[in-house]
Amino acid sequence: MEITEFAFKLLILFFPGLICAYLIDQLTIHKPREAFFFLLQAFTLGLICYFSYWFIVKSIVRFWPNSVNAEVTFLKALTNSSLSFSFKEIVLVSFISVILACSVSVASRHKFLNRVARRIGITKKFGELDVWGYLLNMEEVVWVTVRDHKNDLIYDGWVQAFSDDSKDAELLMRDVSIYKNSTAEKLYQVGVVYLSRKRDDISIECRTLPLDERIIWKEEEKHE
């Protein structure tokens, strides 16, 4: 397939957007995306990067006139096929794209958008792919007890890594104590354990999360 001059120029101009979209794709956890969505995301992010560069240049010129070249050739090069683009401008915008990708990744990691939306009642979504990711991404969840019901075992240790979703239920645990689930008999201890189980075969308990003092046992309630 032959690439036209306009298509090649468009590819070069939106190179920062491709960098930004690729970094976001690598740094964030998300569902598989189609190629069309990736290109649309790269196009949108590229526009954001160029307009951010334009805003920065105009702000510098406003406060420090004649300190930098105030001309931004992006839009002119995009609309005028005879005008050559500026490689220096593309390099500078590429730096902005890296900063933007890191900012979007941090916002996605801490789920800022979902937190604000939940606070004001717009949505109840928590932003993770499933409850598996929501549970293990909680800052309070470090030390867990995994009950392997099929093999009658208990794994007690802290989580170092876990799979992105609960489809395979993969866990990498450290400083693990292993017990018999039915009798609580101590078996052995090991530094590292890798678990890959079906979701129906395990349950996870988080003893580091405090129990609400208002919750009492039914036996105590009946006695009172």
- In the chain, the domains with their CATH numbers are 5-115 (no CATH), 131-205 (2.30.30.100)
Pick the closest to residue 33 from 49, 19, 17, 21 (CA basis): 21
Q: Is 80 exceeded by the pLDDT of residue 66?
A: no
**Residue 168 backbone phi and psi in degrees, to 5:** -100, -15
Taking residues 126-148, report their average pLDDT: 79
Helix (H, G, I), strand (E, B) or coil at 202: strand
Q: Is 50 exceeded by the pLDDT of residue 177?
A: yes
Provide the pLDDT for residue 75. Answer: 67
Distance (Å, whole) CA 32 – CA 160: 24
The token pair that represents 23 in the structure block: 């970094």
